């Protein structure tokens, strides 16, 4: 059965491919214009193999009766074919395809292999390792609650992160600039800072008026330490010649701090912001699981309590998308703020 | 480039003169004062007249950069007094511009932002926008107004540093080996550039270099310093007409004289005169 699919695969796109190569070599004969079959075919082939597994290999495990997973695979197949149809017309699409098609193709194929080793071959024990249909259907069916949880997580994360960052910038600049603040602040920072924010949970529960506030405080604390540390080191390592030049230009202390030291420390501050974002994700999830009765962290432990592992994986997928989106936004902000540094940073 | 009229010149009055009176500088020792620190300058006195171009030459460690930093107000002297015109120097000020060997441009600001920095620092940017344009033209960098410093070559970066220092119309411009990091050709072009700015603006310039040819080519007077401890060995007036011919007999004679003062005469380095 699978062989018939294998044969069917190359046929349809092969025609499109040779056509588009012909049309392309006429219009844009550049290096980007040459494209390889593995780029063009990755997504359709991945989707077709996964669909073949889904429809033709008998299931040994009970599967939800819904059809969300194959619908997704068909959507992927359609997307792949659409890309092939579009690529002769746009250089941007071709560049994007060169970069993304292998990854997306393999990702699509992986979902098929997932179904193969769970539902079809029953190699993984239930209920801990459900197949893709169970996960996709629980995301779709529980979308209202998941959306609500994501929204709560976002609000908690952003408020905690913003509060922590603002306080950290103030403490970091103070410790970095004023020797007295450095003398008294640094030991405190070095002793208290490395304690993971989650270790403060027992205290936070007692001190804060509500679980939400304690979680916000913990997220803020998780961001505060790395941002303070790196801001302080960035400020105190400002090149003396920048400060000397600014002084001879008639700069007062405010200018020296806000227009010389802080911009000079910006690359460092961003390293702190990235580190703080990682620790704040961790703190957020733990705080939600333990105290706050909402958010994605809570959702995961709640679903686990009901042994609904489809929902657990569904929430993890949403979490991955959620956190990586925020991370990407921070990268974009960094690229904009540190545009003057472009070319010298590689992370 | 830009024809600068006489009225944009700074009035060559006594206000732009530099006076250094019996100045010594002892640095703090590394061990916290048990042994005396290095004596960087020992009883240095000199006067630079308003509108004069004076070069300080000397080997490393002769305290020439320290002297410049003290005039800039960035380092206080251990003993002695410094003044600009009649005002004693107590700290840095916008009337004394400073340019380092490393242009030290603010990398987070564009070329325009760097040139405007002095106006922003003094809080006068709003009424002096056109000033920045004028200075960008003055150093021929209008086309790079929005570039960031890491896109600039060494010579361009140093031109921006010059414009940045000049925008406050300093009475005195202090240059600490400003052309030291440039290649020979760029350096010769920049020497003419500095001379052009000097003539156009009438700024008093004190120029530290360890290139003797550069000193002879540019300055009205050359101050020769010797190290350990740093002190003034000799002051030589250069009375050649500008533009100076680097190959002329007078030029070479002067070069030999300076090398002799610095105890390099007779060595292969100085082989072309006596």
Residues of A in contact with B164 (CB under 8 A): 245, 249
Per-residue pLDDT, A34: 61
Per residue in A102-159, pLDDT (tens digit) is 999 999 999 999 999 998 888 888 888 998 998 999 899 999 999 999 999 999 999 9
Claim to verify: residue A149 and residue A275 sit in the same structural domain: yes
Query: How many alpha carbons lie under 13 Å from residue B18 in its C-beta half-sphere?
Result: 29
Token pair in block for residue B18: 């530099």
Domain B12-27+35-106+172-264 belongs to what architecture? Answer: 3-Layer(aba) Sandwich (3.40)
Percentage of chain A surpassing pLDDT 90?
A: 56
One domain, residues A64 and A147: no
What's the confidence (pLDDT) of residue B35?
63
User: Residue A67: inside a domain, yes or no?
Assistant: yes
Give the C-alpha separation, A300 to A345, whole Å.
37
Of A72, A102, A129, the domain-final residue? A129
* Residue A168: pLDDT over 70: yes
| Domain assignment present for A346 | no
For position B13, what pLDDT does the model report? Answer: 58
Same domain, A238 and A269: yes
**Residue A280 maps to a domain:** yes
**Which positions ≥6 away from B148 have C-beta within 8 Å?**
A339, A340, A342, B107, B109, B110, B111
For chain A, how many structural domains are there in total?
A: 2
Positive or negative torsion for Cα A58, A64, A68, A72: negative
| Gap from A239 CA to chain B (nearest CA, Å) | 9
- How high is the pLDDT of residue B220? 92
First to last CA, chain A: 47
Spans of chain B below 70 pLDDT: 1-13, 30-37, 264-274
Of B73, B98, B149, the CB nearest to A245: B98
The confidence score (pLDDT) of residue A20 equals: 45
CA distance B269 to chain A (A): 33
Whether A23 and A164 share a structural domain: no
Question: In the numeric block, which tokens belong to residue A119?
Answer: 């539902």
Statement to judge: residues A281 and A166 lie in one domain: yes
Residue A225 neighbours by CB distance under 10 Å: 23
If asked whether residues A51 and A115 sit together in one domain, one would say: yes
Contact A242 B104 (CB under 8 A): yes
Helix, coil or strand: residue B38: coil
Give percent of chain B above pLDDT 70. 88
In angstroms, rounded to a whole number, what is the distance separating the alpha carbons of residues A8 and B152? 58
CA distance A56 to A34: 36
| pLDDT tens sequence across A187-196 | 999 998 889 8
Q: Point out the residue among B96, B102, B120 whose CB comes nearest to the CB of A241.
A: B102
Per-residue pLDDT averaged across A234-260, rounded? 93
User: Domain check: are A300 and A159 in the same one?
Assistant: yes
* Cα(B152)–Cα(B162) distance, integer angstroms: 14
Structural domain including A334 reads: 143-341
**CA-CA-CA-CA dihedral for A81, A85, A91, A93, to nearest 10:** -30
Between A161-165, A310-314, B12-16, the lowest mean confidence (pLDDT) is in B12-16
Distance CA A74, CA A67 (A): 11
User: Is residue A152 located within the same domain as residue A119?
Assistant: no
**What does the alpha-carbon distance between residue A250 and residue A233 come to, in Å, rounded to a whole number?**
25
Give the per-residue pLDDT at A234. Answer: 95
Say if residue A106 is in the same domain as residue A26.
yes
| More confidently predicted of A187 and A60 | A187
Query: What is the ipTM score, two decimals?
Result: 0.83
Query: Residues of B at the A interface (Cβ-Cβ below 8 Å)?
Result: 69, 72-74, 91-94, 96-98, 100, 102, 104, 106-110, 117-118, 120-122, 148-150, 164-165, 168
Read off φ and ψ for residue A86, nearest 5 degrees: -85, -30
- What does the alpha-carbon distance between residue A97 and residue A108 come to, in Å, rounded to a whole number? 15
Q: Pick the residue from chain B with its C-alpha nearest to A250.
A: B94
Q: Reduced to 3 DSSP states, what percent helix, strand and coil does chain B have, rounded to the nearest 5?
A: 35, 20, 40
Tell me the residues of chain A between 195 and 254 that have a Cβ less than 8 Å away from chain B: 239, 241-242, 244-252
* Alpha-carbon distances, residue A174 vs A232, A251, A257, A338 (angstroms): 8, 19, 10, 22
Over the Cα atoms of chain B, what is R_g? 19
Q: How many CB atoms lie within 10 A of CB A322?
A: 18
Inter-chain residue contact B104 with A341, CB threshold 8 Å = no
Backbone phi, psi, residue B206, to 5°: -120, 120
A154 in the same domain as A108: no
Say yes or no to pLDDT of A342 above 80. no
Can you name the residues that pair with B232 across neighbouring β-strands? B225
Q: Are A30 and A79 in a shared domain? A: yes
Query: For residue B134, what pLDDT is reported?
Result: 84
Tokens of B230: 């740093």
Residues 6+ apart with CB under 8 A from A271: A230
Please report, for the domain that includes residue A175, its CATH number: 1.10.3720.10
Sign of CA dihedral A300, A304, A305, A306: positive
Q: What is the pLDDT of residues B44-89, one digit of tens each?
A: 899 999 889 999 998 887 888 889 999 999 999 999 999 888 888 8
- End-of-domain residue from the set A98, A129, A160: A129
pLDDT at position B274:
43
How far is the C-alpha of B95 from the C-alpha of B73, rounded, in Å? 11
Q: Pick from A129, A155, A182: which residue ends a domain?
A: A129
By C-alpha distance, the chain B residue nearest A244 is: B74
- A259 interface with B at CB cutoff 8 Å: yes
Q: Is A302 within 8 Å of A245 (Cβ atoms)?
A: no
């Amino acid at each position: 059965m699978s062989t018939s699919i294998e044969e069917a695969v190359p046929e349809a796109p092969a025609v499109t491919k040779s056509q588009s190569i012909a049309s392309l070599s006429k219009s844009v004969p550049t290096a980007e214009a040459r494209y390889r079959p593995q780029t063009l075919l990755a997504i359709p082939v991945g989707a077709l193999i996964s669909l073949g597994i889904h429809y033709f290999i008998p299931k040994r495990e009970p599967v939800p009766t819904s059809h969300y997973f194959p619908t997704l695979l068909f959507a992927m197949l359609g997307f792949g074919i659409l890309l092939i149809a579009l690529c002769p017309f746009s250089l941007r699409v071709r560049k994007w395809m060169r970069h993304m098609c292998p990854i997306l193709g393999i990702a699509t194929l992986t979902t098929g292999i997932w179904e193969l080793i769970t539902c079809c071959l029953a190699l993984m024990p239930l209920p801990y390792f459900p197949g893709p249909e169970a996960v996709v259907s629980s995301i779709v069916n529980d979308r209202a609650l998941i959306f609500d949880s994501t929204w709560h997580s976002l609000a908690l994360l952003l408020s905690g992160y913003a509060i922590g960052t603002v306080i950290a910038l103030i403490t970091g600049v103070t410790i970095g600039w004023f020797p007295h603040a450095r003398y008294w602040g640094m030991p405190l920072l070095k002793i208290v800072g490395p304690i993971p924010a989650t270790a403060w949970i027992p205290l936070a529960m007692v001190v804060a008026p509500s679980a939400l506030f304690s979680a916000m405080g913990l997220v803020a604390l998780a961001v505060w330490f790395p941002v303070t540390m790196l801001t302080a080191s960035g400020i105190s390592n400002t090149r003396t010649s920048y400060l000397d030049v600014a002084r001879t230009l008639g700069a007062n202390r405010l200018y020296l701090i806000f227009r010389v030291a802080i911009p000079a420390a910006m690359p460092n501050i961003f390293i702190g912001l990235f580190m703080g974002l990682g620790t704040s994700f961790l703190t957020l999830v733990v705080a939600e699981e333990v105290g706050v009765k909402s958010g994605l962290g809570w959702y995961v432990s709640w679903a686990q309590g009901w042994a609904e592992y489809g929902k657990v994986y569904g929430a993890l997928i949403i979490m991955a998308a959620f956190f990586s989106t925020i991370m990407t936004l921070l990268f974009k902000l960094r690229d904009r703020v540190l545009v003057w540094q472009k070319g010298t940073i590689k992370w | 480039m830009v024809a600068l009229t006489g009225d944009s010149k700074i009035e060559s009055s006594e206000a732009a003169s530099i006076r250094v009176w019996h100045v010594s500088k002892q640095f703090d020792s590394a061990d916290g004062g048990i042994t005396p620190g290095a004596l960087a300058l020992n009883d240095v006195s000199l006067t630079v007249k308003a509108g004069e171009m004076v070069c300080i030459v000397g080997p490393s460690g002769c305290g020439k950069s320290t002297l410049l930093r003290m005039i800039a107000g960035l380092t206080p002297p251990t003993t002695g007094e410094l003044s600009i015109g009649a005002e004693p120097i107590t700290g840095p000020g916008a009337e004394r511009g400073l340019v380092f060997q490393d242009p030290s441009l603010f990398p987070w600001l564009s070329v325009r932002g760097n040139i405007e920095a002095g106006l922003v620092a003094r809080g006068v940017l709003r009424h002096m926008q056109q000033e920045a344009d004028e200075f960008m033209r003055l150093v021929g960098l209008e086309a790079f107004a929005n570039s960031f410093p890491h896109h600039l070559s060494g010579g361009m970066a140093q031109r921006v540093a010059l414009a940045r220092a000049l925008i406050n119309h300093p009475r005195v411009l202090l240059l600490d080996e400003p052309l030291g990091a440039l290649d020979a050709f760029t350096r010769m072009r920049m020497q003419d550039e500095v001379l052009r700015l000097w003539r156009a603006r009438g700024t008093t310039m004190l120029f530290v270099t360890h290139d003797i040819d550069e000193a002879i080519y540019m300055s009205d007077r050359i101050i020769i310093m010797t190290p350990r401890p740093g002190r003034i060995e000799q002051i030589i007036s250069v009375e050649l007409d500008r533009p100076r011919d680097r190959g002329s007999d007078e030029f070479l004679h002067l070069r030999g004289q300076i090398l002799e003062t610095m105890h390099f005469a007779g060595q292969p380095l100085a082989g072309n005169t006596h």
